[in-house]
Structure 1
């Protein structure tokens, strides 16, 4: 198989990226140089303005002094007093501006001496005037010292202004040269980007063709291995590896298949809705409902995958399995239909267990639906509970079991049953024996993941024609089960904000943040939002009232848990509600949601958001990190 072309392509691609990086860095350097050049031009203008201000101060003082002596009107002395008060500061500012230029700094010192000397001469003339010596004042005027001093001062200012003018011209020329260089660098960057993009595209096509060839070669090799496996015992490890790859392929293929179907619903429905928006708005709602249904199915698929991989956040509590199963009886009978008989066999003195009640209900419902599908002509579905002690002997035969006491919940059907090879793969994701469109193959894998994440054990007992029993073993809890509260019906209208409540929303994904902000504002909340933890803390300090911190968990630099900890340190009264599509152990440890934590998993609906925010603000959720 040839390797020269891909190697050359890789070298060219690396070289292209290197050239692009150099071009971008050069452009950045040029921009910085351009900024420095413009800063120097601005500096020159400031020096010229300061020189003009100083000259005007001295001239104003001199004119005011002469006007006062000639008229005796104190109003003429105002420029003189202003110059006396501000001239030292103006001169100091000028010296600071030109400190980096030795020639201008020396000129500024001479100017300071001349200006202050002239100001002092004006003061002495006024003193003579106030002393009543009009002859002395006239003598001082006739000597012409004032004119000579002002001529010297103007000469110094003119020299400095001329120097600054030359510097300004040179700096302006430099700034224009840097601007031209920046434009050239940006053009070069554009060319480099296009070149790298072309190289990357050509390399991707080449690698795709190579991957196809490699796949065909691997397929042929696998076929040869399978043909030889029956004749060579040493091929057993290769066969097992192929089975693993098949499972991964089935998993990825199933995910791609189901997600593509759901995305087809979402994209197709939204496309039709967009087309009908102007011509047939009455039918747009149907398309949007279809798109929402597809998106919700995709969210359910993600939840099932998280359950299988044991990464869904669980909120376990001590519960009585008998009470839970009894409470599900009516719902199960409606679900499985009237053609099936549903029985419950509940053990007396059943131990308590600790599990996520809603996930356990979903697991039992999944098993009952599977049982129903196995009995198309009717039959009996039996739910049973009992105490179980899995000893060392059982644990040695099942390496994934920890010896101990468990609460067992089983679902038995009188359906067609399963052969041993189907039982062996029953928990594989996307593996199903049902017809097309009748199942995703994720039901049992979701149950398996939930039970394992809860520290339990699951087993299947089935034979063709003899029905199937699935047993769930959940660890015993020594604590007392809480008495369930009354069932509160879901609100018909989404609960809204009360008394101008303020929500600080923190979400690093722009589109998700925008949707969440709009939803909360539609519910009447005042929303302050930020893209990360650092800016959220700035907003928190600037906002006098914050009732709820609604934050994503997975964010760069500062995650949601760290942000909540700092928020509660500054504002202990603020309630906290977390959200994420994947927790990464920020608020979930050993698969369990931390106690006292309020959590709303993504994706969520408008109604779910409204209900959860209201619960947390009303105290039904947590206000701790």
Structure 2
């Protein structure tokens, strides 16, 4: 057996098979240690370029450095090396897909549990030290939910790991048999690729790169597409149910009012009044539900983004003062115009901001702002200082009648209706995670590019 075969023989699946309920320590450590395999390859060819992102915050993005040295990004390099060195599937599939969100990675990696453990370990290391772009597409909330962890548990694990590694290893091992062969193997692989790369293998590897990019794109949009499909189905159900409930409710309310007008006994009259009040309450809920399920067709006009923000602040200022929340509206929207139904988009922004005020609580803050999203849209951001969304709230926050607050304090139709209004105006409402930052929701609205003549007929 040659010395180059040594690493391969050491990288065997753990006892119990690759699909054990959780990843064994030794296996997870091997995967985490080899996570920057692509960067090892970059360092073997150009050590200075590989070290630059660790020391210079203004260094080019990781993918740019990797492409300049090897012609591929970190994951593509790792896939090629894992194939040439015949790594086992549980290792090769994870190394080549570390930037995929867990939802997409489950379909392409051999051991999803092992992948989740290693990806979270690498992600936390990058968040707390230096980033090499190894886990840019990772979905941290999904990883925490899959592994049943929270931030407090991660902090405790990090403290234990850092404490255990406080003693630095010697810089030079005097035993030459213990010197790692990774650098030499990488240099040999890079040189071999330049000299003897077979055309068929290269084409297959390029096809694999395209498939990997497609899986990444599908994974990035899967949650949003699932949410949109679920809300569309709920809207159809709500529209049908609302119509069916409204007809018998009108009969109940009408008969109760007729009986109340002719009822001589006060006790029976009080009971009939209770029926009338509760019927009116149900009717109000149905009106809100139908506004989500079948909103009126929008009447889009050219509107200044600053006017929308000012209207939202005016509407919510009393509620913010009552709750003791500081309501801030940042600039940056001057000269920016959107094309939308003013009342509907204002309703959407008010609904999202009201949720922020409720979540921030006394002495908290809510910040509204507007930026140019792209050539076709304008982005409104609503941030609050609240505790953020739990994994359950993040999954269901757009569901009708779901309310993360105590029962009876809200109908849970604010965000669903905001989403429906934004959607039929050509925009969207979504939650945007911010690492160690505020809770942020984003409302996108189509930009108004061409000027419109003012309709003077309704002077």
Q: TM-score, normalised by structure 1?
A: 0.31
Structure number with the bigger relative contact order (C-alpha 8 A, sep ≥ 6) is 2
Q: TM-score, normalised by structure 2?
A: 0.41
Between Structure 1 and Structure 2, whose CA radius of gyration is higher? 1
